[in-house]
């Protein structure tokens, strides 16, 4: 518990320092603690230490874990939350298959990884059926890596060809497009990630002009090794796992 508390405090200090360098307020940046592969018990401890936003990569893992965490935090009352316990906001930060969309909607509050019009349309239909609105982010592959998911947007021509798809997703009922997400390439020096964070920031600025139907408030970018650089380019959601929970086994 002490080590976890120290890790959280250190990450929060790093966020604050990065915001100071960028002339931003720390409140503009949400720390999403990525808990994939870590136990429900450890996540519950992080909750006790003040974290309220958690990210998971896989629907299957989240189904079991979220149920267990609810049980622990609500003092054994399954499905209930004590009045004194603020709810967790669950973020899906990993790839989502269309066939898992229904389960994802039952578990998550925000989906960062919408990477096709087909998936957005599927989420839209399910949300309308359920009478809810789901905040979503559009995952963009700004590096051009073949291994990456996301809409490939690496140049002006690809960007302009993508705009009609974005416009179509903005018009879908039941989902609310709130911004963009990217996963930067793994680099030895965090400074080498700058071009990718800059590209996503500039893409968001372009969308604000061309498609003002959304305010485009969010940029989900930056992980343990590079989130300070991402904050300099406007990240509002940083996805931190290892720096909080330790190395994954």
Digit-coded pLDDT (tens) for 165-207: 999 999 999 999 999 999 999 888 989 999 999 999 999 999 9
The pairing of beta strand 53-56 with beta strand 30-34? parallel
- Residue 73: per-residue pLDDT: 67
Residues 6+ apart with CB under 8 A from 248: 36, 37, 38, 241, 242
- Residue 77: per-residue pLDDT: 47
Is the pLDDT at 42 greater than 80? The verdict is yes
Q: How far apart are CA 139 and CA 107, in angstroms?
A: 19
Q: How far apart are CA 209 and CA 20, in angstroms?
A: 28
Arithmetic mean of pLDDT over the chain? 92
State the Cα torsion 119-122-123-126 to the nearest 10°: -170
Between 244 and 186, whose confidence is greater?
244
- Residue 183: per-residue pLDDT: 95
SS3 86: coil
Proportion of the chain above pLDDT 70, given as a percent: 93
- CATH code (residue 197): 3.20.20.10
Over residues 102-109, mean pLDDT: 96
- Residue 67: per-residue pLDDT: 82
Task: Give the pLDDT band (50/70/90) at residue 212.
Answer: very high
Task: Give the pLDDT band (50/70/90) at residue 79.
Answer: very low
Lowest mean pLDDT among 5-19, 73-87, 196-210: 73-87
Supply the range of the domain harboring residue 24: 2-245
Proportion of the chain above pLDDT 90, given as a percent: 82
SS3 125: helix
Between 212 and 71, whose confidence is greater?
212
Residue 17 token pair: 């320092």
Task: Give the pLDDT band (50/70/90) at residue 68.
Answer: confident
Is the pLDDT at 83 greater than 80? The verdict is no
Look at residues 177, 99, 102 and name the one whose alpha carbon lies nearest to residue 140. 177
Task: Give the pLDDT band (50/70/90) at residue 78.
Answer: very low
Is the pLDDT at 156 greater than 80? The verdict is yes
Over residues 15-36, mean pLDDT: 96
| Structural domains in the chain (count) | 1
CA geometry: angle 197, 201, 204, nearest 5 deg: 140
Between 29 and 71, whose confidence is greater?
29
Which residue do the tokens 């267990």 mark?
68
Q: How far apart are CA 116 and CA 135, in angstroms?
A: 15
């Amino acid at each position: 518990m002490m080590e976890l508390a120290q890790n959280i405090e250190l990450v929060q200090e790093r966020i604050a320092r990065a915001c100071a360098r960028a002339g931003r307020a720390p409140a503009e940046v949400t720390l999403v603690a990525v808990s994939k592969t870590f136990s429900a018990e450890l996540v519950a401890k992080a909750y006790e230490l003040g974290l309220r936003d958690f990210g998971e990569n896989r629907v299957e893992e989240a189904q079991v874990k979220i149920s267990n965490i609810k049980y622990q935090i609500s003092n054994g009352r399954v499905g209930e939350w004590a009045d004194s316990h603020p709810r967790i906001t669950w973020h899906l930060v990993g790839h989502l298959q269309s066939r898992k969309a229904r389960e994802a909607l039952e578990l998550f509050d925000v989906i960062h990884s919408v990477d096709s019009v087909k998936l957005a349309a599927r989420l839209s239909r399910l949300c309308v059926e359920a009478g809810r609105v789901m905040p979503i982010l559009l995952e963009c592959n700004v590096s051009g890596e073949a291994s990456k998911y996301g809409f490939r947007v690496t140049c002006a021509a690809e960007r302009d060809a993508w705009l009609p798809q974005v416009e179509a997703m903005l018009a879908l009922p039941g989902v609310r497009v709130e911004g963009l997400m990217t996963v930067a390439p793994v680099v030895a020096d965090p400074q080498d990630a700058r071009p990718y964070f800059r590209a996503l920031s500039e893409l968001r600025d372009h969308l604000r002009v061309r498609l003002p139907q959304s305010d485009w408030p969010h940029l989900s970018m930056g992980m343990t090794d590079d989130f300070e650089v991402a904050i300099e380019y406007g990240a509002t959601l940083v996805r931190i796992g290892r720096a909080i929970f330790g190395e994954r086994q």
